[in-house]
Amino acid sequence: MHFFIDRNVPIALARMLANYDRVHTVIYHDDKFEKTTPDTIWLPAVSAWDPLPIVVSGDGRILRNPAELQILRGLPLTFFLFADGWAGIPWRDRAWKAIKVWPEVVAAASQRRPTIFRIPVSAAKVEFVCLTADLGTLKQSRR
């Protein structure tokens, strides 16, 4: 599998996951796009890649912004969101929690239907939010 990590996740975390996971490919946003590329541009672009990547994001606004939500809903992407709170924890805790939960991310990503998942700060398990096609049509739980 290929994972695309957006620029709202620290580059150091993306590089750490790439070194930890020697089986899957981890691609960081800035390796493929300009830093200023809007979500409305890179989301459709990565959805056209072969193989189709799994998106890992730290930007909860994508699931709240109507324009971005509509775009994501129409794409065949599985999307993982680091829940609110990840950015506020010390780096050493963020690093070990990300490594701890990564096997859960990989396992959930192997589903065949485009799905939205949340990665809670507890890093115990990923949480199902909804199918990507259902974004905005259902009342989603905490973001």
Give the type of residue at 23: V
In this structure, the number of other CB atoms found within 10 A of the CB of residue 16 comes to 17
Predicted TM-score of the model (pTM): 0.92
Q: What is the pLDDT of residues 105-141, one digit of tens each?
A: 999 999 878 999 999 999 889 999 999 999 877 554 4
Domain residue ranges of the chain, discontinuous segments joined by +: 2-134
Residues 6+ apart with CB under 8 A from 46: 4, 32, 53, 55, 77
pLDDT confidence band for 51 (50 / 70 / 90) = very high
For 30, 49, 57, the CA distances from 38, given in Å and listed in that order, are 12, 17, 13
Mean pLDDT of the chain: 92
Which tokens belong to 66? 């109507």
